[in-house]
Amino acid sequence: MDRFRETPAQLSAPASPCVSCEQPSTEARCKNCGAALQAGSFRILRVLHQGVHGRMYLAQDAAGRRVALKEILFALVPDIQQLAAFEREAALLRQLQHPRIPRFIASFQEGKGISTRLYLAQEFIEGAALQARLEKGPLPEAELRELARQVLNILGYLHTLSPPVLHRDIKPANLLRQPDGQIFLVDFGSARDRVLGQKHLSTLVGTFGYMPPEQLGGTADETSDLYALGVTLVHLASGVAPEQMFRGRMELDFESRVKLSPELVALLRRLVAVRPEQRFRSAAEALEVLEGKVSAARGRRASPLRRALLVLGALGLGALPVGGFLLGKPDEPPEPELTRRPKATLAINPPPPPMALERLRACPAAVALLGEDISLNCKHRELCRGRFQNGREQDVTWRLPVKGSKAEGFYTVKGRGSRENGWPMTEGLLLVDAEHGPRPRVEVIGCR
């Protein structure tokens, strides 16, 4: 926490109503609910979001600028990884300079010991998350194309930094759109910079449904962000949550649910390919396809006529009469189907330990977060398949999607033993999906 300088908070005004519970307070922090009225040099205007580990405030600095002020409470953070992610977000935002990424303003801490609170101030973006836009129905193709263009430009910037920066949690909730249509990418709490050639990032972060299969195992590269963008576009185009469209081995069955041009469908198909090598190699390549400069079939250059047709298609003019003929798509050889390598399979697919779900249901902290009726959310066998660690059959890990009446999450279970005794459970960690901020964690074995 040495990156966060300690800043004492002073509240010079007389009694003011708390921004959270509205009780009068003369202190920098409300004694009734704990919300801040003043943090460092920032005056708190209102609470934007309250999570398990802290709050997000709309605040104002001494110069009158409005900022988004993220607060995290040390006493409520379950492990050091949450603190590391918070510090990492601050360090990354310091380095990033892009007009569509909120600008870093300050980071500091208040208090000592278990009373420590960390703060991150960044540019406040006036806009609505695209998650809210889903309530109005699917986006039209023209809006989807513009959204894809803007986000691909942002990813092109992040991925060409040295080392490249991976966001790892692209989804509608993390894309803000201003009234003039400009898109901002927010929430870099899951972001990591990647040493060239290194893909394994050791931690499991992201949001189920939007992250690609390899990210479930802690592996990610630039194509992982492209996959998440593709799923986001599919969700916005269909209005259907991605986890409801999985089939087979986590393939996204979306084509019958959207009304889009064949060119945009082909682009989305490449973005959400299950195998990383079948996706676009970079954001720049995907952008070329989006703009009609290259065909989605493995980077084939598009003819000028085809480029013109793509533009007409985006305008809703899919066919025009020219010289007595109906001008539509030029005759081209059919695009080859992507070949798939045979997939290596485990000799066995160990089921989760019998006691894993019972332990989860018996844990009050897990029930408080997930709600009643906790069950596995394994719509496809691939999602609940055990994986051997380091090629040894005695150590198995399961990452199980679970759901209850309140929320959904991921339940990581480790077992040690053999097929004969069912790999008794040795560890259990529940991560519950959260709309904003860090995801709540519960150690199921210790049940705290």
Q: What is the DSSP letter of 252?
A: E
Give the tens place of pLDDT for each residue, 208-225. 889 888 887 778 899 999
Kindly state the average pLDDT of the residues 177-198: 78
Mean pLDDT, the chain, whole residue set: 79
Active site residue 2: no
Identify the pLDDT of residue 321: 44
Identify the pLDDT of residue 386: 72
CB 117 within 8 A of CB 109: yes
Identify the pLDDT of residue 342: 38
Closest by CA to 238, choosing from 125, 331, 364, 134, is 134
Per-residue pLDDT at 84 exceeds 80: no
Per-residue pLDDT at 441 exceeds 50: yes
Kindly state the average pLDDT of the residues 227-232: 96
Taking the mean position of all CA atoms in its chain, how far away is CA 37?
Answer: 30
Kindly state the average pLDDT of the residues 268-293: 94
pLDDT band at 200 (very low <50, low <70, confident <90, very high): very low
Identify the pLDDT of residue 289: 95
Of residues 34 and 82, the one with the higher pLDDT is 34
Active site residue: 169, 187, 221, 225, which one?
169
- Residue spans in the chain of domains classed CATH 3.30.200.20: 5-123
| For the ranges 14-28, 71-85, 237-251, the one whose mean pLDDT is highest | 237-251
CATH match of 5-123 with 3.30.200.20: yes
- Alpha carbons 182 and 417: distance in angstroms, whole number: 54
Type and span of the H or E element at 48: strand 42-50
Per-residue pLDDT at 379 exceeds 90: no
Identify the pLDDT of residue 307: 57
CB 270 within 8 A of CB 227: no
What is the pTM for the complete model shown?
A: 0.63
pLDDT band at 180 (very low <50, low <70, confident <90, very high): very high
Identify the pLDDT of residue 325: 37
Residue 394 sits at φ, ψ, to 5 deg, of -85, -15
- Residue spans in the chain of domains classed CATH 1.10.510.10: 128-320
CB 419 within 8 A of CB 353: no
Identify the pLDDT of residue 354: 65
CATH fold of 128-320: Transferase(Phosphotransferase); domain 1 (1.10.510)
Residue 4 carries which side chain, given as an amino acid letter? Answer: F
Per-residue pLDDT at 296 exceeds 80: no
Taking the mean position of all CA atoms in its chain, how far away is CA 427?
Answer: 25
Q: Please spell the DSSP secondary structure of 151-169, one letter per residue.
A: HHHHHHHHHTSSS-EE---
- Alpha carbons 402 and 274: distance in angstroms, whole number: 22
Per-residue pLDDT at 241 exceeds 80: yes
